Structure 1
Amino acid sequence: MNPYKNQKVCIVTGGNSGVGLMTAFGLAQFGHHVFIACRCASKAEKAVNYIRSSTGNLNVEFLPLDLASLDSVRRYVKLFQDRQLPLHLLVNNAGVFNTRGTTQEGFELIWGINYLGHFLLTNLLLETLQHSAPSQIVMVASDLALRPTSIKWERFVRKTPLNFIELYAVSKLCLLILTQELSRRLENTNVTVNAIHPGFVQSNITLGHRLSKYLGIGISPQESASGLLTCATSAAFADVKGKFFDYKQNEIELPDLAQDTELAQQLWERSCLWTGYNRYRLTTTPNSNTTAGVLEPYSLALSPTELDSITKTIIEDVLPKPPIKNHFYDRAKFLFMFRFGSIFLLLNQFRKKEFHMERHLDSDAVWSICQDKNLRQKLKEYLGEELLLWRSEIWVNYPSQQLIPFWHQDSYPNLLQGEGKTINVYIALTEVNEWNGFEYIPNLQLTPDVSVKIKDPFSGNRLFDLPEDLEQQAVPVVLRPGEFVLFTDQLMHRSIRNTSGQVRLALTLRLTQPSVHIVSSYSPIYSKPVLL
């Protein structure tokens, strides 16, 4: 008689200690094939040896997983899928409570480990789980998930704040929301998704938890894991979906936020964007015309590989090393001409590093983009055969930052003299989307209810107050890397706070015809106009 006739393949994240270790231990006792997923190989090895020697089940293994790195999650899934095994149970148990910092990709560390890493892991394993059905997913949440009253997206792309408990609670709330969303998406499959609150466990997650067993409070990891195992293996729970239980199998009522389907859809879409899973995208920027202010997206002739190489060069070599003459010129203008805009540019480049002027001539990488044949062709269709490039800007929008938050129109026509046409080009060097780019008001007509709020003393741009109904007409620009749009100076636009979790890099070029000249009072220019 085969003792492993009903053997299941299981993955337990954080299976090297605490509730995860006892869960892996219990599954091994049932004769299942258990994979412990954790970051520390030495701790995992001890856990594997302990389970094997105590249960006699040699089908206990370790595969490395660091949930603070999305690349590590992808490597883990590949390692597992290379084994060509089914997957019947995924226990998303790993978590941190009071760790501070950011993940490899720049997300808040607690939320990134507890939720986002598990989001990607679960979705990359969904197909295997469906092919192995009946199968189950168990999210280890917390009753602290009942506390949050809202989700503030910008906090996910910043370092852990002083109030880390709030981020922990939100991370567990997101697991409850994910439980509900996955249950809806897997409704017609034989894959169930549920969440469990493990209780106050005498574990090592915090100093208080470590001391709890000496103070006679809390429950043991064995007791907590016993409840989790019942939910994961009992026939009574085989058809239960989308529920939240405590370790005694009592159902906990879900908070309103966890049942908000619109919020769940938002979280799903953002998580797909943040992790690169399924590359959720809006449709590209809609076709438009000069009346709207933006001309439809086009693509550079550069291949993805060439563009990746150029983008890497710009980030690693061009931006960190601005020409010394530029800084000298700015300092001289400030000290001897009292041009305060110059010191503003200096401080901006040194501190925020988000705005870099006139970099097309000092870098072969940037200049190669300016000379792209597809770009030149589209510009010639609009301006004619002779193209005068008179200004350029590299814009870097870092996570949780916003470049120009006010509605404005560019003031560059004031810097030009003579008869001729002008056009601007916005080139996406990394993905531009509704979470990191800019938005504009199509077909805007300046009316009395569109008032000037203030005039920017540095750029001369007029900053506008727009009525709420007009703001609601805003359209986000959405571009793949290597795509570009042409836009006019009449475009009413503003930057979007970057909540994409990724750096957004873009190049803006200002072009005109040779019949147009730059006014002599225009000072922040380091290179003469150049013919493309």
Structure 2
Amino acid sequence: MEHKIMMVTGANSGMGLATTIALARQGAKVVMVCRSEERGQSALREAIASSGSGEIELMQCDLGSLRSIRSFAADFKSRYDHLDVLINNAGVVSLKRETTSDGFEVMMGVNHLGHFLLTNLLLGPLKRAEQGRIVVVSSGAHKIGKIRWEDPHLTKGYTAWTGYAQSKLANILFTKELAVRLKGTAVTVNALHPGAVGTQIGVDRNTGFGKSVLAMLRPFFLTPAQGAETAVYLATSGNVSCATGEYFYRKKIAPVSARAKDKELAAKFWDWSAGEVGLQPSETE
């Protein structure tokens, strides 16, 4: 993994931090993508101490802001000519309906649309790598998800579970369609279910709501390091160098829902996503 440049979104805690540490221990140069400078700096210190690596860099990006994502991608491309691995790990769960700065329902906005734009903006560097890899952290929750075309940002009848499941289905539809579009290149893209991991994803950062429930259930969860194992495997293993457009669980290809296998749905959803973020063809070069 030496001299490989790898990027992890949502790297300041949980699986993102565990993934960063695991990759750095293998000798990779890791770019930690974090929304908060303060939390990012704290995580950076922890990652360096835990991995013993000096090849870890913090870069700030808010995946809930299209403007921030475009600024971040331009900054990254001014520093690096290629990117070997992009791990789209960041995710949110919102108990009440919230929106991003661009007006998207926050789970659709961060879990899917933010990563959709970021990935497309970094396709140039990924294609310039010897073998670029894109790893998308999804969830088994995708199996009950559906794209609510009549109201994709859930302005009516919002529930956290409905929004989360929709965003996780979105991750897999994105993976499937991107694999089709990357055919003939050296870039692969795969999604994964990390298992039930005890992270802060469902805890309200402002009020702390959810911490007591998390503490009670933690003994039944995987640790962040255990949850990160499949993402690290997809980023580094030679066994999956030719795998693309797949969904993994416990380092093995796993079945997906009928909706997640729908090629027409994936193509239609790609076009919708591109329209939402205002993606221009020139931006993917």
Correspondence 1:188 to 2:191:
no
Which of 68, 89, 114 is residue 111 of structure 2 equivalent to?
114
* 2:69 counterpart SS class: helix
Q: Which residue of 2 aligns with 1:94?
A: 90
Separation (CA, whole Å) in 1 of partners of 2:111 and 2:93: 9
Correspondence 1:232 to 2:235:
yes
Q: Is the 8 A contact 1:102 1:158 kept in 2?
A: no
CA offset at residue 107 of structure 1?
1.1
CA offset at residue 160 of structure 1?
7.7
Q: Normalized per residue, which structure has more strand?
A: 1
Question: For 1:439-478, what aligned pairs fall within 5 Å after superposition?
Answer: none
Q: Is the 8 A contact 1:109 1:160 kept in 2?
A: no
Correspondence 1:271 to 2:273:
yes
Q: Which runs of 5+ in 2 are unaligned?
A: 203-209
CA offset at residue 158 of structure 1?
4.8
Correspondence 1:22 to 2:48:
no
Q: Which amino acid aligns with 2:182?
A: L
Separation (CA, whole Å) in 2 of partners of 1:239 and 1:176: 18
Q: Is the 8 A contact 1:146 1:255 kept in 2?
A: yes
Separation (CA, whole Å) in 2 of partners of 1:64 and 1:160: 33
Q: Is the 8 A contact 2:94 2:106 kept in 1?
A: no
Correspondence 1:146 to 2:143:
yes
TM-score after normalising by structure 2: 0.91
Question: For 1:256-335, what aligned pairs fall within 5 Å after superposition?
Answer: 256-278=258-280
CA offset at residue 59 of structure 1?
1.6
Distance 1:210 1:74, change over 3 A: farther
Q: Is the 8 A contact 2:197 2:223 kept in 1?
A: yes
Q: Is the 8 A contact 2:48 2:56 kept in 1?
A: yes
Q: Which amino acid aligns with 2:256?
A: L
TM-score after normalising by structure 1: 0.49
Greater RCO (CA < 8 Å, at least 6 residues apart): 2
Q: Which residue of 2 aligns with 1:34?
A: 30
Which of 171, 174, 186 is residue 170 of structure 2 equivalent to?
174
**4+ residue segments displaced more than 4 Å:** 158-161
Q: Which residue of 1 aligns with 2:102?
A: 105
Q: Which residue of 2 aligns with 1:399?
A: none
Separation (CA, whole Å) in 2 of partners of 1:160 and 1:244: 31
Q: Which residue of 2 aligns with 1:130?
A: 127
CA offset at residue 270 of structure 1?
1.1
Separation (CA, whole Å) in 1 of partners of 2:26 and 2:78: 25
Q: Which residue of 1 aligns with 2:70?
A: 74
Separation (CA, whole Å) in 2 of partners of 1:174 and 1:58: 35
Distance 1:211 1:78, change over 3 A: farther
Distance 1:239 1:87, change over 3 A: same
Q: Which runs of 5+ in 1 are unaligned?
A: 281-532
Correspondence 1:250 to 2:252:
yes
Q: Which residue of 2 aligns with 1:203?
A: 199
Separation (CA, whole Å) in 2 of partners of 1:109 and 1:28: 30
Give the length in aligned residue pairs.
272
* 1:96 counterpart SS class: coil
Q: Which residue of 1 aligns with 2:42?
A: 46
Which of 209, 217, 221 is residue 218 of structure 1 equivalent to?
221
Q: Deviation per CA, 1:245-293, whole angstroms, max 9, x where unpaired?
A: 11x213221212122121111111111111111269xxxxxxxxxxxxx
Separation (CA, whole Å) in 1 of partners of 2:261 and 2:10: 27
Q: Which residue of 2 aligns with 1:165?
A: 161
Q: Which amino acid aligns with 1:212?
A: L
Distance 1:212 1:86, change over 3 A: same
- Of all paired residues, the percent bearing the same amino acid is 36
CA offset at residue 65 of structure 1?
1.0
Q: Which residue of 2 aligns with 1:400?
A: none
Q: Is the 8 A contact 2:88 2:135 kept in 1?
A: yes
Q: Is the 8 A contact 2:136 2:171 kept in 1?
A: yes
Separation (CA, whole Å) in 1 of partners of 2:226 and 2:74: 33
CA offset at residue 157 of structure 1?
3.7
| Larger Rg belongs to | 1
Separation (CA, whole Å) in 2 of partners of 1:267 and 1:113: 16
CA offset at residue 7 of structure 1?
2.0
Q: Deviation per CA, 1:304-348, whole angstroms, max 9, x where unpaired?
A: xxxxxxxxxxxxxxxxxxxxxxxxxxxxxxxxxxxxxxxxxxxxx
CA offset at residue 35 of structure 1?
0.8
